[in-house]
Amino acid sequence: MIKRLKQKLRYLFAKKVCPEIIGGWRNANGVFCKHTGVSNMTHISQDGENLYIGNNVFIGHFNYIDGKNAPLIICDNVEITNYTSVLTHSTHNAIRFSLAKETKLVGPVFIGECTYVGPHVVIMPNTRIGKGCIISAYSYVKGNYPDYSILRGQPARVIGDTRKIDKDLLEKYPDLQCLYYNNENN
């Protein structure tokens, strides 16, 4: 309780000063991820144990992370840049039908490890993004996407495979191969 209060005070103090990344994140299950950094200008909405943010995660400035309505899992080594919305609910249909419960879109979001989310991306409820993906700027992401996908568009579609890009990098930097292939088997 005291640690959570300290984290909140640090967050509020830094918010008044300037945008910066605050190191360390304690998940709802009590696990402290010391290599995770979250901007003080990002709003994270959470309720109970719906939100899980892994270790070595970077969440940049001016994002909205909605872990309140359904499970939101952000795995290890994920980078979410700036001005991104990760949503577990949406009332974009319900508003036209007087907020009828049946028209609200609510569902989990899963972002696989080692995924990069570019700026101005919207990730909708009921979305599963595999590991090792790249999501291009301004993409609207909804649905299931396989591991190592390169996603782009509104709506986002798979336009490539990150393993092709990685192959060129691994040839250029062969000392990274053991790290890459160990990660690929996870």
Catalytically annotated residue among 61, 89, 92, 120: 89
Report the chain's terminal Cα–Cα distance, integer Å.
Answer: 34
**Amino acid at position 135, single letter:** I
Query: What tokens appear for 135 in the block?
Result: 């999501």
For the stretch 139-169, what's the b/e string if a residue is b when 16 or more beta carbons lie within 10 angstroms of its beta carbon?
bebbeebebbbbbbeeebeeeebbeeebeee
The secondary structure of 49-112 as a DSSP string is T-EEE-TT-EE-SS-EEEESSS-EEE-TT-EE-SS-EE-SEE-TTGGGGTT-GGG-EE--EEE-
Query: What tokens appear for 101 in the block?
Result: 């419960």
The question of whether 92 is a catalytic residue gets the answer: no
CA-based radius of gyration for the chain: 17
Q: How many other C-beta atoms are found inside a 10 Å radius of the C-beta of residue 90?
A: 20
Decide if 15 contacts 40 (C-beta within 8 A).
Answer: yes
Catalytic residue positions, numbered:
89
